[in-house]
């Protein structure tokens, strides 16, 4: 395998393909005896003659149009424009003809043309000869766009482009022509849509294209000396774009920087960032950073041009800015601890328990059918962040409830916590009874705190086990009206501090006030209420159980359907600042049937009535129910007929609930944090 320059690799690829296939020919300005503007076609005119290496007039529209027509006629043209900046006068031939021809002929037409264009700044060619325009071509269905960063990829991708039956835009950075690297002598292909990991790392993913790949590698080398492991991913083609490789890297490093020389606004990095946000947002531990050119024409003056071009320094700065955002440290000995000194109790193992009962297929189908977003994957994402918080707070052992979906094991796939994570040894019934059993076992095994993941149903079930251990309910936020809507990492940190025993329970917990529902004077534990008036219209709400601690902001300035309630018969109930702690909603879909959904803490009012009145603890308040289904104990669905006596009342016999804001304030006052970050 010989060492060749980027330019030589391109030249060799064209020569070998022209030798292999007589239908391959080259056309463009000065590509013949002169050898091209940058010398890429040098020697090919002498080897193949003027019939296959054709000098054209200075008319880009003719070059691209001729290539498109020749390709549709069975030839395989390689067209060259001197600069990508000149494509503007040939956009119709490329965008509207070559890119769409195969589609408009029902797949019968082939357009095997390759359009080579140098791009990029750095040679003092000023604003009209130095742009990076790959984002233009990425927006056109029917095109493929290759943007190689190394001599090896340049040859392999160009051969793939020439052999492809679709139009390929092949972009070559001018500053890469002299780059050397190992290139096989024999022909080979590099597949489109397959990214290459140029450097393996564990802390930050840098996705870079073209010349920025070299800058990213230089930045990674400098950062390695500071203990930061950078993974450099080169997409190699931006259309098709290999998002699978990028996302897998993000899942490993939890941090992302995107670097390209094109301007940042609507540049190729924007598409990468958008897809990461859609598919892997919850794997990110810090905001994404883009390193790109400023939104301005490219200066001619060398010092200004150098300042305009993104550099390795910019990539280093972007990575360091991410690392300063509180990124989770890697789980090495002695790291990831939030407490300054050991908690009371000597060597006592600090233990937390996670109770996460997955939604059943029946629940998911019902909720999805009515437009609710509900997925067990939400619990996986929350659990991952919860584990990070527990680890940072110094928890040494996590006991977790097993389940059929595998919520905690799936979360552990993405992280490597230093603490021991052990499933509770218990049989599964795939019911809320599992939560009750798991809570009892965890308490017997010394859990200092329990986190009930998923909100109301899991938390209520855990309470039925008469546990005395503090419990922290953590909501998924999906189809759920629930009082604890906090960032899961903060929840884990607070739970870990409680488990450490640094503060007495009365300082960190409160006795919850619960809402009881009575049917014919018999209390029932309702996890989900589906009030069915018509087959295709329903309202659903989770029964709130910790009523004294409903944050005012959570229920203020929200539409009812935005917090888990769908209006019946087109009516919307508005929750306003004048009713800051919630309502019992009474909806009248048809003037005959009255539906009341009780979701609120100590207040009761009809829809449209601002003056709510108190509901004293222990006093039953009658409510009217339409024929409906009640999911009792989170398991049994009980049909309620018209005329059933229904009431709601408050009880102060709830569990001890972790007061997250109080815990964090106590920790701050005790000096457990330094400069806003865990010590």
Distance separating alpha carbons of residues 17 and 6, to the nearest angstrom: 17
Q: How far is CA 16 from CA 44, 114, 187, 346, in A?
A: 10, 15, 7, 74
Tokens of 214: 């070299």
What does the alpha-carbon distance between residue 94 and residue 88 come to, in Å, rounded to a whole number? 10
Give the pair of three-digit tokens for residue 443. Answer: 């308490």
List CB contacts of 264: < 8 A, sequence separation 6 or more. Answer: 270, 290, 292, 293, 294, 295
Q: What is the dihedral of CA 387, 460, 584, 379, to 10 degrees?
A: 30
Residue written as tokens 């008036």?
533
Quote the crossing angle between the two packed helices 660-669 and 488-499, to the nearest 10°.
Answer: 70
* Helices and strands (H, E) in the chain, number of each type: 21, 37
Distance CA(664)–CA(671), nearest Å, equals 11
The distance from CA 321 to its chain's CA centroid, rounded to whole angstroms, is 19
| 19 Cβ contact list (under 8 Å, min separation 6) | none
Nearest-angstrom CA–CA distance, 169 and 415: 39
CA distance linking residue 475 with residue 140, whole number of Å: 42
Q: State how far the Cα of 145 lies from the Cα of 237, in Å rounded to an integer.
A: 6
Q: Which of 219, 196, 223 is nearest to 209 (CA)?
A: 196
Strand pairing of 76-80 and 24-28?
Answer: parallel
Contact between residue 265 and residue 296 where contact means Cβ atoms under 8 Å apart: no
Alpha-helical (H) ranges within 324-452 are: 361-369, 376-392, 407-412, 432-444
Which of 129, 173, 260, 510 is catalytic? The answer is 129
Instruction: Decide if 129 is catalytic.
Output: yes
Per the CB < 8 A criterion, the answer to whether 53 and 25 are in contact is yes
**What gap in Å lies between CA 90 and CA 316, rounded to an integer?**
38
Upstream peptide bond of 183 is cis (omega within 30 degrees of 0) = no
Separation of alpha carbons 65 and 51, rounded Å: 18
The residue with tokens 């750095």 is 122
Q: Tokens for 62?
A: 């003719």
- Contact between 164 and 192 under an 8 Å Cβ cutoff? The reply is yes
Which among 473, 496, 286 has a CA at the least distance from the CA of 392? 496
Positions marked active-site = 129
């Amino acid at each position: 395998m010989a060492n060749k320059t980027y330019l030589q690799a391109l030249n060799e690829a064209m020569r070998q393909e022209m030798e292999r296939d007589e239908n391959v020919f080259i056309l463009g300005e000065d590509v013949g005896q002169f050898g091209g503007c940058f010398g890429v076609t040098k020697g090919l005119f002498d080897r193949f003659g003027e019939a296959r290496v054709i000098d054209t007039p200075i008319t880009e529209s003719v070059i691209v149009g001729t290539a498109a027509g020749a390709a549709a006629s069975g030839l395989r043209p390689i067209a060259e424009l001197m600069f990508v900046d000149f494509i503007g006068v040939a956009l119709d031939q490329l965008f509207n003809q070559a890119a769409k021809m195969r589609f408009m002929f029902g797949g019968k037409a082939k357009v095997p043309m390759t359009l080579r264009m140098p791009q990029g700044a750095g040679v003092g060619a000023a604003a009209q000869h130095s742009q990076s325009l790959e984002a233009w071509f990425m927006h056109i269905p029917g095109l493929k766009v290759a943007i190689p960063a190394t001599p090896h990829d340049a040859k392999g991708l160009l051969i793939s482009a020439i052999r492809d039956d679709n139009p390929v835009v092949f972009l070559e950075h001018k500053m890469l022509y002299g780059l050397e690297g190992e290139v096989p002598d024999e022909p080979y292909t590099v597949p489109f849509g397959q990214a290459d990991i140029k450097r393996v790392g564990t802390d930050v993913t840098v996705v870079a294209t073209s010349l920025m790949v070299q800058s990213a590698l230089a930045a990674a080398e400098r950062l390695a000396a500071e203990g930061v492991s950078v993974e450099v991913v080169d997409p190699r083609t931006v259309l098709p774009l290999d998002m699978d490789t990028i996302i897998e890297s993000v899942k490993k490093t939890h941090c992302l920087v995107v670097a390209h020389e094109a301007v940042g606004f609507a540049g190729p990095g924007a598409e990468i960032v958008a897809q990461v946000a859609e598919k892997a947002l919850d794997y990110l531990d810090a905001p994404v950073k883009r390193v790109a050119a400023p939104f301005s024409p490219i200066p001619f003056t060398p010092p200004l041009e150098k300042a305009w071009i993104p550099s390795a320094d910019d990539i280093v700065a972007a990575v360091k800015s991410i690392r300063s955002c509180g990124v989770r440290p890697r789980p090495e000995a002695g790291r990831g601890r939030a407490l300054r000194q050991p908690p009371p109790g000597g060597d006592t193992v600090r233990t937390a328990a996670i109770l996460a009962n997955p939604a059943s297929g029946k629940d998911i189908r019902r909720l999805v059918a009515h437009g609710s977003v509900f997925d067990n994957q939400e619990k996986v994402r929350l659990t991952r962040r919860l584990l990070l918080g527990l680890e940072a707070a110094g928890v040494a052992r996590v006991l977790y409830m097993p389940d059929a979906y595998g919520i905690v094991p799936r979360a552990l796939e993405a992280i490597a916590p230093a603490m021991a994570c052990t499933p509770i040894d218990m049989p599964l019934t795939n019911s809320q009874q599992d939560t009750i059993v798991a809570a009892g076992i965890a308490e017997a095994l010394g859990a200092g705190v329990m986190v009930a993941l998923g909100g109301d149903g899991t938390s209520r079930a855990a309470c039925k086990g008469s546990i005395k251990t503090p419990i922290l309910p953590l909501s998924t936020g999906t189809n759920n009206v629930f009082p604890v809507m906090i960032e899961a990492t903060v929840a884990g940190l607070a739970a870990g501090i409680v488990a450490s025993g640094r503060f007495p329970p009365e300082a960190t917990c409160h006795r919850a006030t619960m809402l009881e529902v009575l049917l014919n004077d018999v209390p029932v534990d309702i996890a989900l209420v589906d009030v069915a008036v018509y087959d295709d219209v329903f309202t659903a709400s989770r029964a709130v159980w910790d009523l004294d601690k409903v944050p005012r902001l959570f229920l203020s300035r929200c539409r009812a359907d935005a917090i888990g309630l769908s209006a019946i018969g087109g009516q919307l109930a508005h929750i306003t600042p004048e009713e800051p702690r919630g309502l019992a909603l009474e909806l009248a879909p048809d003037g005959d049937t009255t539906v009341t959904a009780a979701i609120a803490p100590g207040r009761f009012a009809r829809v449209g009535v601002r003056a709510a009145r108190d509901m004293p603890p222990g006093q039953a308040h009658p409510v009217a129910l339409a024929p409906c289904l009640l999911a009792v104990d989170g398991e049994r669905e009980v049909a309620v007929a018209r005329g059933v006596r229904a009431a709601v009342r408050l009880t102060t016999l709830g569990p001890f609930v972790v007061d997250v804001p109080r815990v964090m304030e106590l920790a701050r006052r005790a000096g457990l944090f330094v400069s806003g970050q865990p010590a």
